[in-house]
């Protein structure tokens, strides 16, 4: 097996840059560059030299023994001064060591998976953790990274194995005169797992929103102040505003965090019967995006009615409070009601992620659905009586395999490339 190395920290100038080395010969990198192998888990200050003896940097060297590292392999870290030139010189020395090569993106984590340091759900969660930009994303990713989904799958697995074994014992003793009816116990076990699967499935859209974010569209007639509101909510001048009705044509997107949740705010073209063909295209886009958004903020001038269907959770506000003097209205000019609108958006969105599942990905959903189908089939067979117990237990075994694929217990080679494709170099 190759020994791999890569910059583990972000590219470019920095206070400190960490180069990570993992593999059977990792310690020889410490020897080659630092002259000795510091005691494991003790950061040691060393002059790093190239083979000619020239000093490349004065750095911290940190070794992890095989079986007690992130990857499970011997690992050496060089904590360098974050200079592009130092980094290049150190990487060159490493590349010249026999059996050493640059790591592929995600390859350290892949080795951690291969050495059972992480299960597949934890690998995915690690990718999410690194991508996390909001508080809710960090909390969800951290929960799964701590192994919560993996433990849940292990519990289901244990419950299902117990059920299948009960059935199989009954089959084995079918000829003997021991009339034990196991069907109630088996049914209870299958139903427990089934209920958990249902709960996870119904919480998936919330989890997906935490991962990918909510879309909130600001809609209303031209000139009511939608773009001004977008700018006020985002706290920056993201969209052009003007006194001309029909200013906004394309959908303007602004990413922000509301109540710890990732939100994309959409500013849209004002809705009206327009003559101008470009404006008409903009309005068609506005309608489409408002329709698919998770939530709409209807911004109205005095006397306006919402132009589109108002769905549960949608917010309706009157604009330009400073002109109307209406204490219920909001004003992007004075800021009246803007904080409250953010609070209301946060409350509405938070309610939607209350019962988030731990499963966030399509492959989780597919495994849950397939597992549940097998359990349903098993439950139906169970009702047909002991002659069908063998087929029922086979269905339970298939359910177990489907769920095992979640944590990578069964062969998932073909999945790995897909999962690791999203990793950054050095992870
Ligand atoms: N410098 C540095 N910081 C880092 C990492 C790293 O690799 N290097 N990590 C990497 O992403 C994270 C920490 N993750 C780690 C996970 C496990 C082990 C480890 O050595 N595990 C052993 C021993 C456990 C123990 O002593 O408690 C083990 O699990 O057997 C080290 C780091 C975040 N910070
Ligand atoms: N007095 C006052 N004027 C506002 C307020 N909000 C927006 N305006 C003004 O109203 C005009 C229209 O604002 P925009 O934000 O461009 O309106 P819009 O809804 O995006 O308009 P379209 O893009 O054409 O659909 C501009 O002149 C803004 O300065 C407000 O709260 N108070
Ligand atoms: Mg506008």
Q: Give the CATH number for residue 88.
A: 3.30.1360.120
CB hemisphere CA count around 29 (13 angstroms): 32
The verdict on 166 and 241 lying in the same domain is no
The verdict on 349 and 367 lying in the same domain is no
145 belongs to a structural domain = yes
Give the pLDDT score at 182: 83
20 belongs to a structural domain = yes
Closest C-alpha residue for ligand 1 atom 15 = 70
Ligand nearest to the CA of 332: 2
Going from the first residue of the chain to its last (427 residues), give the mean pLDDT of each consecutive group of 10, the final group possibly shorter: 96 96 98 98 98 98 98 98 97 98 95 95 94 94 96 95 90 63 91 96 92 95 98 96 96 96 97 96 97 97 94 96 96 97 96 89 93 97 92 96 86 68 77
125 belongs to a structural domain = no
124 belongs to a structural domain = no
Pocket probe mutation, ligand 2, options 218, 222, 225, 289, max atoms within 8 Å of Cβ? 225
The verdict on 198 and 254 lying in the same domain is no
The verdict on 339 and 402 lying in the same domain is no
pTM for the whole thing? 0.81
Could you give the number of structural domains in the chain? 3
The verdict on 154 and 200 lying in the same domain is yes
123 belongs to a structural domain = no
Among the listed residues 241, 248, 228, the one whose alpha carbon sits nearest the alpha carbon of residue 338: 228
Task: Among 67, 87, 115, identify where a domain stops.
Answer: 115
Give the pLDDT score at 421: 74
How far is the centre of ligand 1, averaged over its atoms, from the C-alpha of 375 (Å)? 39
The verdict on 194 and 282 lying in the same domain is no
Burial class for 17, CB neighbours closer than 10 Å (0-12, 13-18, 19+): buried
Burial class for 54, CB neighbours closer than 10 Å (0-12, 13-18, 19+): exposed
Ligand 3 ion: residues within 5 Å (CB)? 226-227, 247-248
- With a Cβ cut-off of 6 Å, ligand 1 is lined by 18, 64, 68-70, 77
Q: Regarding beta strands 14-22 and 44-49, do their DSSP bridges make them parallel or antiparallel, or are they unpaired? A: unpaired
The verdict on 87 and 184 lying in the same domain is no
Ligand 2 contacts CB of residue 224 (under 6 A): yes
The verdict on 343 and 391 lying in the same domain is no
The verdict on 377 and 299 lying in the same domain is no
The verdict on 110 and 186 lying in the same domain is no
Domain containing 73 equals: 3-115
247 is in an annotated binding site: yes
**CATH number of the domain bearing residue 245:** 3.40.50.300
Give the pLDDT score at 337: 97
The verdict on 233 and 185 lying in the same domain is no
Phi, psi of 387 (to 5 degrees): -65, -25
Q: Within 10 A of 290 (CB to CB), how many other CB atoms are there?
A: 25
Inter-residue contact 322 to 300 (CB < 8 Å): no
Give the pLDDT score at 414: 64
Q: How far apart are CA 324 and CA 302, in angstroms?
A: 8
How far is the centre of ligand 1, averaged over its atoms, from the C-alpha of 133 (Å)? 22
Give the pLDDT score at 354: 87
Helix axes 183-202 and 204-212, enclosed angle (nearest 10)? 30
The verdict on 11 and 35 lying in the same domain is yes
* Biggest alpha carbon–alpha carbon distance for the chain: 90
SS3 label, residue 359: coil
How far is the centre of ligand 1, averaged over its atoms, from the C-alpha of 64 (Å)? 9
Give the pLDDT score at 411: 59
Q: Within 10 A of 68 (CB to CB), how many other CB atoms are there?
A: 11
């Amino acid at each position: 097996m190759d020994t791999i190395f890569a910059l583990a920290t972000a590219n470019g100038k920095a206070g400190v840059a960490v180069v990570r080395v993992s593999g059977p010969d990792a310690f020889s990198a410490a020897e080659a560059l630092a002259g000795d192998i510091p005691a494991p888990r003790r950061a040691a200050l060393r002059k790093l030299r190239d083979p000619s003896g020239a000093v490349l940097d004065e750095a911290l060297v940190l070794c992890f023994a095989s079986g007690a590292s992130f990857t499970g392999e011997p690992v050496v870290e060089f904590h360098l001064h974050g200079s592009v030139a130092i980094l290049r010189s150190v990487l060159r020395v490493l590349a010249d060591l026999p059996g050493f090569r640059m790591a592929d993106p995600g390859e350290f984590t892949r080795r951690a998976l291969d050495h059972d340091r992480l299960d597949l759900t934890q690998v995915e969660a690690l990718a999410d953790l690194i991508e996390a930009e909001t508080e809710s994303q960090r909390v969800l990713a951290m929960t799964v990274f701590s192994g919560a989904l993996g433990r849940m799958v292990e519990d289901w697995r244990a419950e299902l194995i117990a059920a299948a074994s009960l059935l199989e014992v009954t089959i084995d003793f079918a000829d003997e005169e021991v009339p034990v009816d196991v069907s109630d116990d088996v049914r209870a076990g299958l139903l427990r797992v089934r209920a958990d699967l249902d709960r996870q499935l119904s919480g998936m859209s919330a989890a997906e929103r935490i991962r990918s974010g909510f879309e909130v569209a600001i809609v209303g007639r031209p000139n009511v102040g939608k773009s001004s509101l977008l700018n006020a909510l985002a706290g920056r001048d993201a969209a052009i505003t003007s006194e001309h009705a029909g200013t906004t044509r394309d959908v303007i997107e602004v990413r922000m965090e509301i109540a710890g949740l990732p939100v994309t705010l959409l500013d849209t073209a004002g809705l009206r019967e327009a003559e101008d063909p470009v404006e008409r295209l903009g309005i068609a886009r506005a309608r489409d995006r408002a329709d698919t958004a998770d939530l709409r903020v209807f911004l109205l001038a005095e006397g306006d009615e919402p132009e589109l269907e108002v769905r549960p959770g949608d917010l309706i506000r009157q604009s330009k409070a400073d002109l109307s003097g209406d204490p219920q209205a909001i004003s992007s000019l004075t800021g009246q009601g803007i904080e409250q609108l953010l609070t209301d958006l946060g409350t509405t969105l938070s309610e939607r992620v209350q019962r988030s599942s731990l499963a966030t990905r399509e492959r989780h959903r597919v495994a849950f659905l397939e597992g549940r189908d097998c359990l349903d089939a098993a439950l139906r067979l169970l009702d047909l009586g002991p002659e069908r117990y063998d087929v029922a237990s086979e269905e339970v075994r298939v359910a177990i395999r489907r769920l095992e694929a979640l944590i990578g217990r069964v062969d998932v080679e073909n999945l790995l490339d897909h999962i690791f494709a999203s990793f950054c170099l050095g992870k």
